[in-house]
């Protein structure tokens, strides 16, 4: 704490973000409640993307992976001072299981309390259960939070901050929970304020009407750096812009060709010109925030456009007067389908078009809606797709990988590509009960995806914030689970 702690106690930290509060039920706005550290889950994620205990002190699974046991933290209390018990934790989880959310996507047969534990019985092994229960829709609320129908009537949870007032849909007022089971926050009062317009949020940062502004566009971030009372921070998100390829198409039908194509891309150039952030260049699908799913040993090589052209020339392709490759009177030509829901995608496609031209490829761009990519996949007509894929719905992207890289492919993943070795590892992952074996299989999967490149990562999105320079301990969560306000303090 600073030399004048009384000031710290009096000042309210104002955090501003674009998202309105749709209601007090975590099924509707739980992501905001989790970010503001109001609600907690059985497990959580540390700064390195590793799963850690939260309201469960530990967990274990049976040898067949069908029974999971979570030891409930002793001494934890809800915001109304009532005790956290295995029975009321199981009751809260069963209510969540009956609502839309992550729990319903997992093969859960039953959840019950037994002694000091909460027991999950599954219909089939599910290695990502411990990650799944960290999702905000699986947060634990007190018995008094619900009416007789299981509807949430008060937000009474266990996090470092408790709600003092809702002003829906824009504001939540909070204070530090003095009976919190962990370290009590040095920021004693806080507010969440929803402000949709980027420019308005920026003006609030400039004027000092807000202390932390989340999610600003790159141009605004650069401008805010000029103000002495403001600092800016960015970190890559596990949402990656990926090229999906028809792996039977000429020019993309071998791992060597796909890797040569990948080596020809100037990712840093796209990162700077399109995403306005050099660190968003993505050599692999998963950023460091996803822990063991990130391969630490990969380098960021300089682009080499000649290797792709050389490989194709060995197959009889020749360069024409315009620099494109052709064979038997046909150009080497692809159509890349993308969509404008995310405005950076068409711009990124244009940059890739210019870079592929240098490799001898004529790339046509078709801007449609996002459904055009899965439709083209299922009809077999898609040649290339450029898409944004979110791998950070939970801290473990296994669910996305199983959907995207199934033997028959996936709408948002591989097309006409399969690896029996990788399928064997994916099957083993789901039945693995030890972290060491799990990590070993994950490395195999990630290595195969990088070596065979059924999809090519280009750049990742970036999480950004501007914050007052008298905040100490600020950090950004790459998984966007928490604003980490309880780890901050005022510098006075």
**pLDDT tens digits along 449-484:** 999 999 999 999 888 899 999 999 999 998 889 999
Average pLDDT over residues 199-221: 91
Q: Determine the average pLDDT of the residues in 334-358.
A: 93
Return the pLDDT at 287.
Answer: 87
Is the model's pLDDT at 2 over the cut of 80? Answer: no
pLDDT, tens digit (0-9, with 9 covering 90-100), for 113-130:
999 999 999 999 888 899
pLDDT at 8: 52
pLDDT band at 393 (very low <50, low <70, confident <90, very high): confident
Say yes or no to pLDDT of 4 above 50. Answer: no
Q: Which of 492, 490, 481, 466 is nearest to 46 (CA)?
A: 481
Quote the pLDDT of residue 6: 43
Task: Give the integer Cα–Cα distance in Å for 264 and 163.
Answer: 52
* CA distance from start to end of the chain: 8
Tell me, what's the pLDDT at 302?
A: 74
Point out which residues pair with 119 in neighbouring strands.
Answer: 69, 112
Identify which of 430, 440, 397, 427 has the alpha carbon closest to the alpha carbon of residue 126: 430
User: pLDDT at position 215, please?
Assistant: 85
Instruction: Look at 52-66, 97-111, 291-305 and tell me which has the smallest mean pLDDT.
Output: 291-305
7-48 pLDDT per residue, tens: 555 799 999 999 899 999 999 899 999 999 999 999 999 998
Residue among 267, 266, 291, 261 nearest 279 (CA):
267
* Closest to 345 in 3D by CA, of 247, 202, 239, 214: 239
pLDDT tens by residue, 124-157 = 988 889 999 999 999 999 999 999 999 999 999 9
Averaged over 364-393, what is the pLDDT? 93
> Which three-class secondary structure state does DSSP give residue 237?
strand
**pLDDT-based confidence at residue 177 (cuts at 50, 70, 90):** very high
The reported pLDDT for the residue numbered 300 is 64
Q: Residues 277, 218: contact at Cβ < 8 Å?
A: yes
Q: Would you say 157 and 33 are in contact if contact means Cβ atoms under 8 Å apart? A: yes
Residue-wise pLDDT for 57-82, tens only, equals 999 999 888 999 999 999 999 999 99
Structure tokens given for 152: 């949430």
Tokens of 132: 């799944």
- Which of 94-98, 151-155, 272-276, 341-345 bottoms out in mean pLDDT, i.e. has the lowest? 341-345
The confidence score (pLDDT) of residue 216 equals 85
What mean pLDDT comes out for the span 318-339?
95
Task: Tell me the β-bridge partners of 489.
Answer: 472
- Alpha-carbon distance 404 to 13, whole Å? 41
What average pLDDT does range 434-452 have in this prediction? 93
Q: pLDDT above 90 covers what percent of the chain?
A: 77
Residue 217 CB neighbour total at 10 angstroms: 14
What is the arrangement of strands in the sheet containing 330-331, beginning at the earlier edge strand?
Answer: 318-319, 325-327, 330-331
Q: For all residues of the chain together, what is the average pLDDT?
A: 92
Question: Average of pLDDT values for 244-258?
Answer: 96
Query: Residue 3: pLDDT band by 50, 70, 90 thresholds?
Result: very low
């Amino acid at each position: 704490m600073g030399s004048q702690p009384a000031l710290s106690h009096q000042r309210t930290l104002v955090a501003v973000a674009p998202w309105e509060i749709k209601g007090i039920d975590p099924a509707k706005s739980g992501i905001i409640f989790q970010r503001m550290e109001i609600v907690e889950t059985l497990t959580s994620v540390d700064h390195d993307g590793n799963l850690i205990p939260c309201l469960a002190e530990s967990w274990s699974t049976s040898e067949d992976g069908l029974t999971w046991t979570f030891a409930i933290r002793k001494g934890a209390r809800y915001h109304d001072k009532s005790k956290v018990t295995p029975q009321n934790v199981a009751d809260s989880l069963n209510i969540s299981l009956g609502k839309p959310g992550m729990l319903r996507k997992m093969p859960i047969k039953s959840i019950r309390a037994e002694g000091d534990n909460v027991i999950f019985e599954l219909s089939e092994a599910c290695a990502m259960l411990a990650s799944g229960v960290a999702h905000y829709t699986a947060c634990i609320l007190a018995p008094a939070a619900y009416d007789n129908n299981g509807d949430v009537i008060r937000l009474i949870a266990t996090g470092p901050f408790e709600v003092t007032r809702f002003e829906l849909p824009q504001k939540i007022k909070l204070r530090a929970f003095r009976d919190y089971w962990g370290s009590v926050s040095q920021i004693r009062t806080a507010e969440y304020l929803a402000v949709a317009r980027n420019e308005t949020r920026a003006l609030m940062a400039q004027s000092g009407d807000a202390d932390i502004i989340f999610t600003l566009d790159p141009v605004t971030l650069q401008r805010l750096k000029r103000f002495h009372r403001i600092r800016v921070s960015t970190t890559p998100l596990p949402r990656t812009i990926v090229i999906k390829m028809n792996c039977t198409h000429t020019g993309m039908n071998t791992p060597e060709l796909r890797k040569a194509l990948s080596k020809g891309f100037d990712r840093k150039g796209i990162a700077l010109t399109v995403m306005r952030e050099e660190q968003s260049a993505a050599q692999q699908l998963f950023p460091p925030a996803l822990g063991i799913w990130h391969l630490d040993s990969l380098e960021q090589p300089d682009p080499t456009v000649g290797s792709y052209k050389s490989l194709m020339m060995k197959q009889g392709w020749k360069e024409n007067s315009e620099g494109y490759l052709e064979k038997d009177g046909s150009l080497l030509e692809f159509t890349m389908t993308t969509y404008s829901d995310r405005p950076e995608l068409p711009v990124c496609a244009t940059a890739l078009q210019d870079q592929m031209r240098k490799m001898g490829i004529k790339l046509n761009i078709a801007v449609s809606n996002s459904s055009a990519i899965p439709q083209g996949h299922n009809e077999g007509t898609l040649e290339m797709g450029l898409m944004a894929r979110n791998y950070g719905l939970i801290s473990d992207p296994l669910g996305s990988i199983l959907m995207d890289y199934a033997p028959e492919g996936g709408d948002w993943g591989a097309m006409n590509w399969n690896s029996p070795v990788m399928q064997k590892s994916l099957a083993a992952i789901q039945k693995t009960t030890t972290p060491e074996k799990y990590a070993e299989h994950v490395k195999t999967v990630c290595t195969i995806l990088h070596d065979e490149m059924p999809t090519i990562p280009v750049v990742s999105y970036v999480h950004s914030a501007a914050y007052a320079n008298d905040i100490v301990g600020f950090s950004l969560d790459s998984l966007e689970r928490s604003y980490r306000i309880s780890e901050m303090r005022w510098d006075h």
